[in-house]
């Protein structure tokens, strides 16, 4: 058999290999793009199942703690400045809250705190505030673009009271940053939970952006 006779048989094989490579590349791109949405769904499932181990897997607690401290401190500082101008005596409450930033951060940098963040219940900076415990989390799954149930009336002292359901919308900010923004409407300002890429397919929740 001559070289000329063998070449036609090789062309289909080369085409198959090229097609297979192209399919693999497309699948990798699609899975990479979809990975934060899949992880967000896993987190919501873990919250409903009270699966702290799965929650811990997708949360960078040291980074989240730093972000929470910065955001809560800024939120309370703005509150103090505003209340000093409007009601000087009312600013005392915000000043007390400033002294309790670390306990509040410690309470929210936990599986229960992450569950509250993903249920549309961010820290408000109130003295003695704690996130709802896992047992108080709503049973209804809250995926992006869906409504999150409000907190049950039996929530522990310091937890947020029942409020209009929050709506979450998820989207990329850039190739390595993924944000879920929650809004209740009315006078409530939106806030965001931030994920950052850890490799091709892995993401971790590591920051929040509280209302200005």
Alpha-carbon Rg for the chain in angstroms: 23
Residue 32, both tokens: 């990479």
Residue 80, both tokens: 């103090």
Average pLDDT, the chain: 78
**pLDDT value for 161:** 43
Please write the tens of the pLDDT for every residue from 119-169: 989 998 777 788 876 445 443 444 444 333 333 333 333 444 444 566 889
Please write the tens of the pLDDT for every residue from 70-95: 998 888 888 776 766 666 665 555 55
Domain spans in the chain, listed from the N-terminal domain onward: 3-131+143-151+165-209
Q: Model's pTM, two decimal places?
A: 0.73
Dihedral through CA 82, CA 88, CA 91, CA 96, nearest 10?
150
50 half-sphere exposure, CB direction, 13 A CA radius:
8
Residue 161, both tokens: 């009271």
Residue 122, both tokens: 């961010």
């Amino acid at each position: 058999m001559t070289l000329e006779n063998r070449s036609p048989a090789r062309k289909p094989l080369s085409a198959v290999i090229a097609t297979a490579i192209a399919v693999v590349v497309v699948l990798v791109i699609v899975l990479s793009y979809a990975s934060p949405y899949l992880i967000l769904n896993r987190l919501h499932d873990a919250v409903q199942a009270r699966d702290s181990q799965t929650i811990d897997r997708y949360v960078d607690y040291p980074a989240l703690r730093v972000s929470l401290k910065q955001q809560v401190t800024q939120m309370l500082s703005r509150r103090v400045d505003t209340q000093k101008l409007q009601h000087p005596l009312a600013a005392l409450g915000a000043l007390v809250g400033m002294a309790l930033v670390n306990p509040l951060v410690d309470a929210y940098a936990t599986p229960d705190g992450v569950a509250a963040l993903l249920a549309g219940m961010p820290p408000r900076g109130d003295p003695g505030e704690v996130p709802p415990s896992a047992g108080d989390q709503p049973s209804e799954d809250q995926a992006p673009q869906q409504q999150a149930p409000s907190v049950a009336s039996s929530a522990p002292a310091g937890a947020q009271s029942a409020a209009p359901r929050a709506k979450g919308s998820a989207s990329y900010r850039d190739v390595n940053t993924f944000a879920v923004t929650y809004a209740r409407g009315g006078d409530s300002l939106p806030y965001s939970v931030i994920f950052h890429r850890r490799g091709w397919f892995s993401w971790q929740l590591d920051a929040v952006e509280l209302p200005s």
